[in-house]
Amino acid sequence: MDKFIIEGGERLYGSVAVQSAKNSVLPLLAASILTEERVTLKNVPRITDVACMGQILCELGAEVRFAGEDISIESAHASNHRISSSLTKELRSSVFMLGALLSRFGRAVCAYPGGCDIGLRPIDLHLNALKRLGVEIVERDGMIFCTCEKLRGAELVLDFPSVGATENILLAAVTANGKTVIEGAAKEPEIVDLQNFLNAMGADVRGAGTDVIEIAGVKALHGTEYTPIRDRIEAGSFLIGCAICGGELEVSGVRAEMIGLLLHKLRENGCKIHTKNDKIRIVSEGRLKANRRIETLPFPGFPTDLQAQAVALNSTCEGGALIVENLFETRYKYVPELMKMGADIEVKGRTAFVRGVKRLHGARVTCGDLRGGAALVLAALGAEGTSEVLDLSHVDRGYARLEEKLQKLGAKIRRVRM
């Protein structure tokens, strides 16, 4: 197990190019099983979630090759439709494989998905939608058994704009008989990226980025070479890190509209934000002001994946902030670790009351999930003294070479094997 040793108090200067989006790459990898031809994804981050999805594809019989930052998948000989419990429970995104496997083989078996411990995250929306597409589902002993004669198009209405359910429906419906319409679809940029990727493979998908997506089923998909969108959550994490530490930073690869509400909140803090094309520059000077209220919502609202980082930022801002987490019920598990560093935070249910202190101090803290771990790293960068951030396995799920990127910006951070 690795840990970070961080000497806080250094301002951040320079520029950083963000990696391809983890939340886009994983469903694209799942989609690669839809064709027997080669699929190549360019500029893919070497994070553990990607490695785990690669293992799942290999288990299904696909050949997966890593070449630098590229991944090639050939699944002509894939025949297995069952994902082992160990891999399913390690990676929540394995749930995307249900729609893809049903589209390819008409069968799929997997355990309930795992990932970060941030709440129940039920997959009823996924399963109910698949049933409407003609799938018979049996749930037994913690496993999900899915079969279908032939997927058929249907009109679906989602009670909540779930990103995962929208993506799973897309993967199942692209080769179904007839037309599928998703009303109440998620509108995240990663949904648009999946649509563009599937269409590059020969699918007929329209409307991603709006409430209504239409999928006309095709007989077969073909291989393609594709570069996923960049990671708006990584971009947001670096911007928040600069706000916490002070300094001047340019983040490239993400357009302002992908994280528009975050930029608004950073301006509210007192940061200066300049945007041009896919470059965002932030200047942070002096003590910032707290955000009065941040509420996580589906896109284009404030991302739940940046909630923990926003709490870390407001921990040292002047005044108090009210943070409301609407998407996951237990996403404040990192708060006791942040309080070890001197943060003044009170959590009641889905709400966190953050009272800004002048400075956090170094401490020994432990990551419990991906985004909470990122928040602890950012808080430690701005704290007075030395911090140890333990159990980086969570952070490594979503951030590639994080310490190297931060070192180039002037941070004093190093990785140590325990």
Q: What is the 3-state secondary structure (H, E, C) of 164-185?
A: HHHHHHHHHHCCCECEEEEECC
User: What count of residues does the chain have?
Assistant: 418
Task: Give the helix ranges, DSSP H, for 43-133.
Answer: 48-59, 85-90, 96-105, 124-132
Q: Are 344 and 321 in contact (CB under 8 A)?
A: no
Q: Which helix (H) or strand (E) covers residue 195, if one does?
A: helix 189-200
Instruction: Mark whether 116 is an active-site residue.
Output: yes
Q: Are strands 351-355 and 70-74 parallel, antiparallel or unpaired?
A: unpaired
CA distance 376 to 204: 43
Beta-ladder partners of 10? none
Q: Nearest-CA neighbor of 321 among 333, 329, 312?
A: 312
Catalytic residue (choose from 116, 242, 317, 367): 116
For residue 359, report the phi and psi dihedrals to the nearest 5 degrees. -155, 140
CA distance 227 to 241: 27
**DSSP at 257:** G
Q: Are 6 and 360 in contact (CB under 8 A)?
A: no
Contact partners, residue 46, CB within 8 Å, separation at least 6:
66, 69, 400, 401
Task: Tell me the residue type at 10.
Answer: E
Token code pair at residue 163: 């990103």
- List the catalytic residues: 116
